[in-house]
Amino acid sequence: MLEIKNLSTNFNTYEGKVEAIKGVNLKIKKGEIFGLVGETGSGKSVTCYSALKLLPKSAEIIEGSVILNGEDITYVSEGRMREIRGGEVGIIFQDPLSALNPVMKVNEQIGEVLRLHREEELRSLSEIEKISLYSSKKFTLSPGVEFTIWAFCLSFFSLFTMIGQFSFGLPFLTIIFLFLIRDFLQKDNPESALDIMVLDSLSKVKLPNPKQIAESYPHELSGGMQQRVMIAMALAGNAKMLIADEPTTALDVTIQAQILQLIKDIQKENGMSVLLITHDLGVVAETCDRVAVMQSGKIVEESTVDKIFSNPDHPYTKSLLDAIPKGGKKRLITKESNMEVVS
Amino acid sequence: MSYNILEINGLRKHFPVKNSWGSEIGSVKALDGVNLKIEQGKTFGIVGESGCGKTTLMRSLLRLVEPTSGSISFNDESGFTDLLGLKSRELRKFRKSIGVVFQDPMGALNPRMLIKDIIGEPLVIHGQTKNIIDRVVELLENVGLGKEHLYRYPHEFSGGQRQRIVIARALALEPRLLILDEPTSALDVSVQAQILNLLNDLQKKYDLTYIFISHDLSVIEYMCDRLVVMYLGRVVEKADTEELFSNPQHPYTKALLSATPSFDKKKEKIMILGDVPSPISYHDKEGNELATELTEQEKLEIKSIEGKGIDYIVRSSLNEVLPLIRISDTHYARIRILND
């Protein structure tokens, strides 16, 4: 599905070059959950951002290639890359609240993905169902315009009432009245194709009351719900591959268990591949099929989950496992972390 | 000889919820009748999810928030102190005996102060300015740093080193009790292991008592002698660590233990379904308890999980308030008594 061959990325800083990743090889098969574990600064995020070309300007890919579904995407154009991100590859980031736009409603954000990546399906849906494509046939105005009309009508109505010409004020009263019962009048108007698909993608991630959630802003939702919305967004473009960068770090353990279960369920239903980046070895043990351990820009060990936790080969993997506190007050074995700046 | 360094009785903190006219329409019961006894020289753990009142408990121990009712008493060599009766001047003196380490070390350190000033500040405030540099160096050496770090700024240190500096500062006034609010949640496992080792060493050296707040159960299991599990402002279970991990009684504790990711694939799984209830809505105007019917989300999640062979509990069933029942001498839990 995704194959990373001998990928190296450098960051150019004033103090010299930082070799963030050096010759990383990864192969993610179709329909498997692949874990990428490592400490802060080990290059796990840089690996996935290099693969998707989401790197800052100071970084450059020195060598290597990225192959997605048989297509070499190392040097493809930015336009094609945009189609891939969100379309073929969905991404979930660590902190859902900072990844979601705070001033856009949930349905607008998911709608944006659908418009960009599933335009054709939207068109065919609207033709078959004979409904409008984007906007539902509901009469809406921007808040500013609406306020102006309200103020205009109210002031004219009261003006005419005050000078004793009540009948002249009546049309304005009617407009106010129509505004008030607007929602009731439009109750049965058909939804747009976009709305239908947004609600569909929200209900796929098991959110209750998708209609209500679609109309709310991210801050109104709880952390778990926000992460579910993020997953819905990542999957909205019919992604065949999901990259989850520390998806549960900001969540409580109980909510974390729910989200991991959801990712597993969706993976099974759609037969997607998942690349799970995390520093929590427990999460990897519970969800992944295969796992790679990264240390200072290199993959030091790669094997199945069962093997790595029962019988790790590399000393670094062992030291990571030893550092996890277990019951009993034995002294934890530590080692000095090794970050290096190459100039 | 062991004695209780801290005793908390019936501690309540209700934050009023007001409508836009300013009249009170309800309250958030951040703490609702918490009783704790913390033994000298031991590590006491507090576990719970976000919003369960862990942090409010910690803040009310320092009187950073004023509790609504209840009592906190602190015992040490100098005798017995009623914490809630202290006047502001006495309170400032008293705060010497409790040290705090917060979660985010970068947020706890002033980025524009040198390390020597950061660690020396509590000493200056409490008038212990004699040989201050020597004292600061001693504190730094205690936490595994040295003289060469005196004239540096916080940003020059790594996350683990920053947390060491925060610990050194907390120890500057020789407190009897150290409150650790998620001290390692921002750190990697290997750095976390270093900090935990350091904390254990310091505890032995200075005979300190720790209150350890965390949501990471493996850390709690490693560090604590006794612990409480909190849910929505109440203590739902308290026991010695080994007892709690081997024989959990409350459904929430069971689910929490099973939700912790582990390497044991055969471990029995219990999922908690549903979202945390909003702290504001959980008491309506008449003061009725939270609804215990299933919510929409819970129904949906039950449907999706059924037939997969996974055990589950639903959050709405946890809303009912049950009395704390004695299971053994050291083990208490809020569970329903089964009629034999």
Q: What is the pLDDT of residues A246-286, one digit of tens each?
A: 888 878 888 888 888 889 888 988 888 999 998 888 888 88
Percent pLDDT > 90 in chain A is 6
Q: Report the amino acid identity of residue A131.
A: I
- pLDDT, tens digit, for every residue of A101-114? 999 889 889 988 88
Q: Which of B262, B273, B305 sits opposite A282 (nearest CB)?
A: B262
Average pLDDT, chain A: 84
CA distance B165 to B25: 44
- SS3 category, B94: helix
Tell me if A157 sits within 8 A of A172, measured CB to CB: yes
- A92: which strand partners? A244
Residues on chain A touching B49 (C-beta within 8 angstroms): 252-255
Taking only Cα atoms into account, the Rg of chain B, rounded to an integer number of angstroms, comes to 22
Q: Which of A208, A282, A335 sits opposite B190 (nearest CB)?
A: A335
CA distance B134 to A9: 46
Inter-chain CB proximity B272 and A258 less than 8 Å: yes
Inter-chain CB proximity A282 and B299 less than 8 Å: no
Inter-chain CB proximity B255 and A224 less than 8 Å: no
Residues on chain B touching A335 (C-beta within 8 angstroms): 190
- pLDDT, tens digit, for every residue of B133-187? 999 999 999 898 888 889 999 998 888 899 999 999 999 998 989 999 888 887 8
CB atoms near residue B64 (< 10 Å): 12
Indicate whether A314 pLDDT > 80: yes
CB atoms near residue A267 (< 10 Å): 19
CA distance A93 to A105: 19
The predicted pLDDT at position A339 comes to 42
Inter-chain CB proximity A327 and B221 less than 8 Å: yes
Q: What is the pLDDT along chain B (340 residues), one digit of tens a residue?
A: 578 888 999 998 888 888 778 777 777 888 888 999 998 889 999 998 887 888 889 888 888 889 989 999 988 777 788 888 888 888 888 888 899 998 888 888 999 999 999 999 999 998 888 889 999 999 999 898 888 889 999 998 888 899 999 999 999 998 989 999 888 887 888 888 888 999 999 999 988 999 999 888 888 888 899 999 998 888 999 999 889 988 888 888 888 888 877 766 666 778 787 777 766 655 455 555 566 677 777 777 777 777 777 778 887 777 777 888 888 888 888 887 766 5
The predicted pLDDT at position B288 comes to 55
CA distance A100 to B288: 36
> CA triplet A302, A306, A312: central angle to 5 degrees?
55
Place of tokens 């902190």: A95
Question: Residue-wise over A158-176: b if at least 16 C-beta within 10 A, else e?
Answer: eebeeeeeeeebeebbebe
Q: Mutate which of B217, B245, B263, B270 to disrupt the A interface (most A C-beta within 10 Å)?
A: B263
Q: Does A207 touch chain B (CB under 8 A)?
A: yes
Q: Which of B192, B256, B271 sits opposite A258 (nearest CB)?
A: B271
Q: Does A249 touch chain B (CB under 8 A)?
A: no
Q: Which residue of B has its CA nearest to A286?
A: B261
Distance of CA A15 to the CA centre of its chain: 34
Q: Which of A209, A260, A334 sits opposite B194 (nearest CB)?
A: A334
Region A132-160: mean pLDDT is 81
Inter-chain CB proximity A320 and B194 less than 8 Å: no
Q: Which of B196, B263, B310 sits opposite A325 (nearest CB)?
A: B196
| pLDDT band at residue A342 under the 50/70/90 scheme | very low
Q: Does A206 touch chain B (CB under 8 A)?
A: yes
Indicate whether A341 pLDDT > 70: no
User: What is the reported pTM?
Assistant: 0.80
Could you tell me which of B202, B157, B128, B176 has the C-alpha nearest to residue B136? B128
The alpha carbon of residue A264 is apart from the nearest alpha carbon of chain B, in Å, by 12
Q: What one-character-per-residue DSSP string does A105-126 give?
A: -HHHHHHHHHHHH-HHHHHHHH
Q: Which residue of B has its CA nearest to A316?
A: B190
